[in-house]
Chains A and B, each alone.
With several copies, the nearest count.
Chain A
Amino acid sequence: MADDIFEEDRVSVAERLAAEALIIDVDGFEGPLDLLLTLSRTQKVDLRKISVLDLARQYLAFVEKAKALRLELAADYLVMAAWLAFLKSRLLLPPDPTEEGPSGEDLAAHLAFQLERLQAMRDVAARLMARDQLGRDFFARGQAETVERVKRVTYTATLLDLMQGYARIRTRDDFRPFILDRDSVFTMEQALERMRPLMGYAGEWTDILSYLPEGWETDPVKLRSATASTFAASLELVKEGHMDIRQTELFAPIQLRKRK
């Protein structure tokens, strides 16, 4: 502790001012390594010859000041402070041969390497950005003629495809499942279609059989189908509310009339 105070006294006024300025915009730093790099500049030496011990002292002094000013430091700054305090003790004390792990020198060398590397990256980043840039210093073709992509699709088939296709159809016919022959079937849809336009004329009760399509009364099969679908269609029209339906007695004619 006494050491620290002594150290602080040795720090010049200019450095103290610089350190205070650092505190003011601690937010401007990108983490402890960035701060360490900035602090290292006060040593005004080649980064390879930097005194990590001095740097650790500077950093710890900075953290102390920040605490005194009641500035909230992010956790990683404090982690770094703790680590640097540990490093400082390692560097100051003679190495303990029984202790395992890297020596203080090793740790210090790596920190110096990290700082040098970060500085090097910043330097080359600046050199990179200072290069001639496309769209700023040199330019691409202003009016690029885009390559027209002509996509042509051709379809192809082989004789085999053709024959197999045909065989498929023909054999499908051979194996065709039973389908009702639709010639003598009058569907309900057809019945409805027939009845709708006639509806308007049905002011009086009329036998539904008078709605049968022409020519369907003669063939018994057709008659059956047409009668059934006409009846079903009549019920549908009643359900829709267009017609009334009645049957006076069992097996009597079923009659239809427009609803009034």
Chain B
Amino acid sequence: MSQDIDEQEQSLFEAPPIAEQERMVEAILFATAEPVTVKDLSARMPHGCDPAEALVYVRKRYEGRGVTLMKIGDAWAMRTAPDLGFLMQKETVETRKLSRAAIETLAIIAYHQPVTRAEIEEIRGVSVSRGTVDQLLEMEWIRFGCRKMTPGRPVTFVVTQAFLDHFGLENARDLPGLKELRSAGLLENRPPPGSMPGPGDAEEEETNEGQSELFED
């Protein structure tokens, strides 16, 4: 009985040609936020349409294209081809200068390694934030060295091969000493504001001493 009515209706409202149905399926799948079932398609398309058949054509048309028809459960959706996923990412690399605290901490580790956190703090004269050490560890410029044989057996830090590579050093001993820094004009001869200027000569000797001590062992 109901079939009769269907047939009657079909003759009254002729279904659009399949090419047209294909366009419709294409448009609906494109504009819909969610995957669409054949039933949904049927409900939205004019009477007499056969979305299942239209889907076959759509699928064929998009085979190997940048966009493909995908079946998700019992619903259909258009998705970018899986091999082109990399286009949906836009990587922006931002290069930032390492903070002063990080540079100083790194320098101390490089010149004094293996060195404990307490020793770094003593040399810098300020406490070293956890973030700074973490950042250097994350960059893989420093790593944990062996524990120090002192009470509490504190961990030490040493520089890594990646650090040496980045700075073009063969080993940490290649780092120029203070005397070389000074003769290369790299050392700020001016004392930091607020501190008292001392006699240059004596100071230089002192620092040389300190430096040689560092690399004696």
Query: Contacts A134-B79, A140-B31, A141-B32 given: A159-B167 contact, CB under 8 Å?
Result: yes
Contact (Cβ within 8 A) A157 B92? no
- Is A2 at the interface (CB under 8 A from chain B)? no
A to B contact number (C-beta, < 8 Å) = 282
Contact (Cβ within 8 A) B195 A177? yes
Q: How far is the CA of A31 from the CA of B100 in the complex (A)?
A: 14
- Is A64 at the interface (CB under 8 A from chain B)? no
Residue from B182, B190, B194, B197 with most neighbouring chain A CB atoms (10 Å): B197
Contact (Cβ within 8 A) B197 A163? no
Residue from B97, B195, B200 with most neighbouring chain A CB atoms (10 Å): B195
Q: How far is the CA of A133 from the CA of B186 in the complex (A)?
A: 26
**Chain B residues within 8 Å of A, Cβ to Cβ:** 27, 30-34, 44, 77-82, 84-85, 88-98, 100-104, 106-108, 110-111, 123-126, 135, 139, 165-169, 175-178, 181-182, 184, 186-188, 190-201, 203, 206-207, 210
Contact (Cβ within 8 A) B80 A165? no
Q: How far is the CA of A151 from the CA of B90 in the complex (A)?
A: 8
Contact (Cβ within 8 A) A141 B31? yes
Q: Which residues of chain A are within 8 angstroms of B210 by Cβ–Cβ distance?
A: 170
Please give the distance in Å from A55's CB to the nearest CB on chain B.
Answer: 14
15 contacts between A and B (CB under 8 A): A32-B197, A76-B197, A101-B194, A128-B175, A133-B168, A136-B95, A138-B82, A155-B97, A158-B167, A159-B168, A162-B167, A163-B175, A170-B210, A176-B125, A177-B195
Q: How far is the CA of A83 from the CA of B201 in the complex (A)?
A: 12
- Is A252 at the interface (CB under 8 A from chain B)? no
Query: Contacts A163-B107, A177-B195 given: A145-B32 contact, CB under 8 Å?
Result: yes
| Chain A 157-179 interface mask (CB, 8 Å, partner B; 1/0) | 11111111111111111111100
Please give the distance in Å from B157's CB to the nearest CB on chain A.
Answer: 14
- Is A139 at the interface (CB under 8 A from chain B)? yes
Contact (Cβ within 8 A) B104 A121? yes
Q: Which residues of chain A are within 8 angstroms of B82 by Cβ–Cβ distance?
A: 132, 137-138
CB contact between B126 and one of A33, A129, A158 (< 8 Å): that residue: A33
Q: Which residues of chain B are within 8 angstroms of A113 by Cβ–Cβ distance?
A: 186, 190
- Is A117 at the interface (CB under 8 A from chain B)? yes
Q: How far is the CA of A177 from the CA of B123 in the complex (A)?
A: 15
Interface window among A104-112, A181-189, A200-208: A104-112
- Is A1 at the interface (CB under 8 A from chain B)? no
Q: How far is the CA of A250 from the CA of B168 in the complex (A)?
A: 73
Q: Which residues of chain A are within 8 angstroms of B98 by Cβ–Cβ distance?
A: 155-157, 161
Q: Which 7 A-B pairs have the closest CB atoms?
A: A33-B125, A125-B107, A102-B193, A144-B33, A166-B107, A31-B126, A139-B31
Contact (Cβ within 8 A) A162 B79? no
Q: Which residues of chain A are within 8 angstroms of B125 by Cβ–Cβ distance?
A: 30-34, 114, 118, 169, 172-173, 176
Complex: chain B residue closest to A143, CB-CB: B33
Query: Contacts A156-B96, A174-B207 given: A128-B107 contact, CB under 8 Å?
Result: yes
Contact (Cβ within 8 A) A165 B197? no
Contact (Cβ within 8 A) B196 A111? yes
Contact (Cβ within 8 A) A157 B106? yes
Q: How far is the CA of A154 from the CA of B126 in the complex (A)?
A: 26
Contact (Cβ within 8 A) B186 A117? yes
Please give the distance in Å from A33's CB to the nearest CB on chain B.
Answer: 3
Q: Which residues of chain B are within 8 angstroms of A171 by Cβ–Cβ distance?
A: 187-188, 191-192, 207
Contact (Cβ within 8 A) B123 A117? yes
